[in-house]
Structure 1
Amino acid sequence: MSGEDKERVCVTGAGGYIASWLVKYLLLKGYMVHGTVRDPCDEKNAHLKKLEGASENLQLFKTDLLDYEALCAAMAGCTGVFHVACPVPVGKVQLIEPAVVGTKNVLNSCVKAKVKRVVVVSSIGAVMLNPNWPKGQVMDEECWSDEEFCKATENYYCLAKTIAEIQALEYAKRGELDIVTVCPSIVIGPMLQPTINTSSLLLLGFLKDRTEPLEDEDRPLVDVRDVVDAILLIYEKPEAKGRYICTSFTIRMQALAEKIKSMYPNYDYSKSFTKVDEELRLSSGKLQNLGWKYRPLEESIRDSVKNYEEAGILHKE
C-alpha cells in the first residue's frame, strides 16, 4: 500500500501514556499517523520515532492545544482524529483552559479539515462525581459528574474533563462532526514513554515501602492496551455512537495489594489500610456489546512490573 492509499489520522498529545500505545497500534495497522507534541525534538518523545513503521508513517507536529493554526496544519489531510492530549493536574487554570479551550480548538480544526470521525478520550472523572446518582445503582453512560459538586470539592481535573466531554458531544448533536467519546478508568499496564505518568504511580506505590495508611477504597482499573483496543474499535465501527465507559475491574486497595504481594513477595508493601464504606459500581456493558474484551488483571500487573524493572524504576530483589 502506498503512502497515498493509506488512511491518515491525527493523535493529539502523541507522547503521552495512552497516546503512545495508540500511535504504536495505529502504525502496526498500517495507518499514516500525524502526532501533535509540544516539541518533536524533546527526548521524551524519542520513543515514538523508534516505533515499528514510524520512520515511514509517523509525522510529528509541534503544537499545543491552544494553538489553533498549528492544530489545523497537523490535521490537514486526516480522515480521523483521536483527541487524547490531556493537561497534567496542577491547578484550576492550568487544567480547565487547556482541557476546555483545547478541545474546542481541536474540534474546530477537525471541522476545517473535514475529518470524518473524531474519538475524544475523556475519563471516568466525567462520570463518577455525582452525589445525586442513586446509591447502589451501577454507573453507566447516563451518569455525569456534577459540575457544581466538582467545584465545591475543588476537583478541577474532573470538572475540566466533564465540561470538555459535554462540549464535544454538543458538537456531535449539532451535526458538525461525527464524535464518539470514551471514558477510561484508572489506566495501568506497561509504559512506552520515559516519564512516569500519574496512573502508573498507583501500582508503583504498592511496590515501594509506604508507612502512611491507605484508604481501602474501590478503584476501577483498565489496561492501557485494552483502552487502545476500545479507542480503535469505537473509531472503526460505524455503529459506535455517544459515550463509552472503559473499565475492566473494580478492586479494593487492600485486595489489590494482596494480589500484587502474592505475585511479588519480595517487595515492601503498604501495611495498613483504613476502612471505607463506599462501594463503586461502573459498567462497560455498552463497550462490551460493541465487541470489546479485556485481559486478566494478573497480566496487567505482571507486564507493568516487568516494564518498571526493565526501566530501572524498580530494582529486582
Structure 2
Amino acid sequence: MSGERQVVCVTGASGYIASWLVKLLLEAGYTVKATVRNLNDPKKVEHLKALEGAKERLHLFEANLVEEGSFDSVVDGCEGVFHTASPVSLQVTNPQTELIDPAVKGTLNVLRSCKKVPSIRRVVITSSMASVMFNSRPLNSDVIVDETWNSDPLFCEETKQWYALSKSLAEKAARDFCEQNGLELVTLHPGFVIGPYLQPDLNLTTEALLNLIKEGQQMWPSGIYRYVDVRDVARAHILAFENPSASGRYCLVERVMHSFDALKILSGIFPSLNLPAKDNDAAIQDHPYHVSKEKAKGLKLDFTPIEVTLRDTVQCFKDKNVLQF
C-alpha cells in the first residue's frame, strides 16, 4: 500500500476503526484530512496527533454530520474519501434523531460535498453486517451469508433493530446518490469488531468483550458473534480504495462463533485469566452459520485468525489497565 503524495479524507477519525485507518494511511505515505466532532476534546484528537507522520501529513478539521456543507472544505483537493462517521448505539430512546438521521443525512451530506470535487475518484463507506443479515431468512450451520444478502427495513422496524435500520437506510441512500451522480462507491460490512484500540476510551464492541470476559455478560441472547479484527477492517478500507477493480459491497468477518468458544480460546492463551464458566455446552455450535470471505479475498485481504485478535485485545486491556490478571 503506497499513498505517496495522495490526499484522502477520513470522517469520524477519532473512532475505533477510523483511528486505525488514519494510522495505516499515514504509515503508507498518504496525507490525511480528518474530521472530528470537537477539536478541543483531547480524547478525540491527542491519540491521532501522536501517530507517526501526523505532524507532517495529518490535518484535523471539525465537522458536523447533520450540518449541510460541513465537509466541503475538508474533501476539497482529495482523491478519496473514507466515510466512517456514524452513530453506534444499541439502546436509544428516539431512533430517528439518535441513529437514523445522523446516519442517512450525514452520509448524504458527505456525498454532496464529494460531488463538488472532480479529483475524488472513489468513496469508501464503513457500513456493517447489520445492513446485510437482519431479515427473516433462517440461519443454521449450512447457511453461508454473502454480499447478496440484505437486511429488510420492515423486519428491522418490527423487531426494533434500530442500528441495523440506520445502516441499511444509509447504505441505500449512498448507493442511490452515487449511481445518480457518477461517484464510485465501495461499502464495507464488518461484523463484531475487536482488537487493540488506539483511542483512550473503550468503544461499544471492546467494552462488550471486556464485559464478557469479566462477567460472562452477553450483548445479545444468542451469544453468537461475527468476529473480525479492527486492523483487518482498516486495511480493507485502503485496499478498497487502491484496487481499481474493487466495487460494490464486501462482508468482513473472520469467524462466526459463540462467545463461550471465544472464552475457551482465551483460557488457553491466558491460563491466569479468571474467566466465567460456560453456562450451557449444548447451546454452543462450532459454526452456527458462515459468512463468505470470497469477495474480501479478492481485495487481497488476509484475515487475522481470531485467536490472534482475541489475544491482542486482551493484552491491550491489560496494557491499558482496564483488566488485571
TM-score by length of 1: 0.93
Counterpart in the other structure of 2:313: 304
* CA displacement 1:178-229 (0-9 Å, x = unmatched): 1110100111100000111111123212331347898563311110011111
Counterpart in the other structure of 1:96: 100
* Correspondence for 2:229 among 223, 234, 251: 223
Matches for 1:1-317 after TM superposition, within 5 Å: 6-44=5-43, 45-89=45-89, 90-91=91-92, 92=95, 93-114=97-118, 115-132=120-137, 136-210=142-216, 215=221, 217-274=223-280, 275=283, 279-315=288-324, 317=325
Structure 1 residues 76 and 280: alpha-carbon distance in aligned structure 2, compared to 1, 3 A threshold? same
Contact 2:189 2:250 survives alignment (8 Å) = yes
> Aligned partner of 1:289: which letter?
G
Number of equivalences:
313
Structure 2 gaps of 5+ residues are none
Structure 1 residues 74 and 213: alpha-carbon distance in aligned structure 2, compared to 1, 3 A threshold? closer
* CA displacement 1:226-266 (0-9 Å, x = unmatched): 11111111110010011110111111222111111121222
Deviation at 1:132, TM superposition (A): 3.5
Deviation at 1:284, TM superposition (A): 2.0
| Matched position secondary structure for 2:9 | strand
TM-score by length of 2: 0.90
Deviation at 1:40, TM superposition (A): 1.6
Q: How large is the RMSD of aligned CA atoms in angstroms?
A: 2.2
* CA displacement 1:117-150 (0-9 Å, x = unmatched): 1001100000111114686431111100010010
> Aligned partner of 2:318: which letter?
E
Give, in whole Å, the separation in 1 of the partners of 2:25 and 2:71: 20
Give, in whole Å, the separation in 2 of the partners of 1:16 and 1:134: 31
Give, in whole Å, the separation in 2 of the partners of 1:47 and 1:212: 30
* CA displacement 1:75-105 (0-9 Å, x = unmatched): 1111100000121314202000100010010
Give, in whole Å, the separation in 1 of the partners of 2:253 and 2:124: 17
Deviation at 1:302, TM superposition (A): 1.7
> Aligned partner of 2:229: which letter?
D
> Aligned partner of 1:161: which letter?
K
Structure 1 gaps of 5+ residues are none
Contact 2:208 2:219 survives alignment (8 Å) = no
Give, in whole Å, the separation in 1 of the partners of 2:34 and 2:60: 5
Structure 1 residues 282 and 210: alpha-carbon distance in aligned structure 2, compared to 1, 3 A threshold? closer
Deviation at 1:19, TM superposition (A): 0.1
Structure 1 residues 128 and 212: alpha-carbon distance in aligned structure 2, compared to 1, 3 A threshold? closer
Structure 1 residues 56 and 299: alpha-carbon distance in aligned structure 2, compared to 1, 3 A threshold? same
